[in-house]
A and B are shown apart, each in its own frame.
Chain A
């Protein structure tokens, strides 16, 4: 893991991966969404609104997966002082927030025809909304820590770890409390979903995940380039002051 602690080595890898991840993500996501709109059949009970599945579930997966990755990066930063872990966590925060928001909006658009309401304050929807607020708070904290200097990055890392407590709450909320939201259709090695939905959903999730990975690499490259430019300008200013 510490092999990639060297930013130059990481940047070489990131440059070679960004475009392939982006292109593969665009092709797979595009194909799976076309399948969701035109190829997948209407469902017996939910009718055509079931097609929202192909956008909603990948967004939910990436919203939750994003925070799980922030928690892992935060732990790596706090325990092993890995120099890229904090940068990785910061790079994940905005795409995680965007996909959490997309999950809530598309869920609401699905809820209206399926449940007869845009929103209910039940465990699943409320804990997902809490996740969006956690992302927004993390973005504000990371921005403040960045302005105050690198030593303050422990605060967002601790927040990233504490906020991970919400992830199992989101996952198990539909089992712990009464909810309009259905329980999980896919668990380890089992699926209650018909194959024509399952394979399309897996492809959409893979496509959106590749796009998420490309966006995280772009944002890490941007943070590293900003840091390198700042360091160079500071060094030059100090040399000018000494002369």
Chain B
């Protein structure tokens, strides 16, 4: 017996998870890099 599932709900959920997960990873890595490079600059100046 075949269930009458709406495939689009699963497609949207998969795309949302993929896009949000990737963007969070990029933002976290970017922020960590900027934070570390600012700390290095501060240690150079002090």
Within 8 A of B (CB), among A2-33: 22, 29, 33
Mask for A33-52, Cβ within 8 A of B = 1, else 0?
10011000000000111011
Q: Let me know if A219 is at the binding interface, CB within 8 A.
A: yes
Is B18 within 8 A of A106, CB to CB?
Answer: yes
Give 12 CB contacts A-B under 8 Å: A48-B11, A51-B11, A52-B14, A55-B14, A56-B14, A94-B25, A106-B17, A109-B14, A116-B3, A222-B36, A223-B36, A225-B36
Q: Given A211-B26, A218-B29, A233-B43 in contact, is the A102-B18 Cβ separation under 8 Å?
A: yes
A33 to B17, CA, bound (A): 13
A113 to B39, CA, bound (A): 49
The 9 A-B residue pairs with the shortest CB-CB distance, nearest first, are A55-B18, A225-B36, A48-B7, A222-B36, A218-B29, A225-B40, A49-B7, A229-B43, A106-B14
Q: Which residue of A lies closest to B8 (CB)?
A: A48
Total number of residue pairs linking A and B with CB closer than 8 Å: 100
Q: Let me know if A180 is at the binding interface, CB within 8 A.
A: no
Is B36 within 8 A of A226, CB to CB?
Answer: yes
Q: Let me know if A138 is at the binding interface, CB within 8 A.
A: no
Chain B positions within 8 Å of A113 at CB level: 5, 7, 10
Is B40 within 8 A of A218, CB to CB?
Answer: no
Chain B positions within 8 Å of A116 at CB level: 3
Is A112 within 8 A of B5, CB to CB?
Answer: yes
Chain B positions within 8 Å of A225 at CB level: 33, 36-37, 39-40
Taking the closest CB of chain B, its distance from the CB of A62, in whole angstroms, is: 10
Taking the closest CB of chain A, its distance from the CB of B7, in whole angstroms, is: 4
Q: Let me know if A90 is at the binding interface, CB within 8 A.
A: no
Is A229 within 8 A of B40, CB to CB?
Answer: yes
Chain B positions within 8 Å of A85 at CB level: none
Taking the closest CB of chain B, its distance from the CB of A126, in whole angstroms, is: 21
Taking the closest CB of chain B, its distance from the CB of A61, in whole angstroms, is: 13
The contact of A101 among B3, B21, B37, B44, by CB within 8 Å, is B21
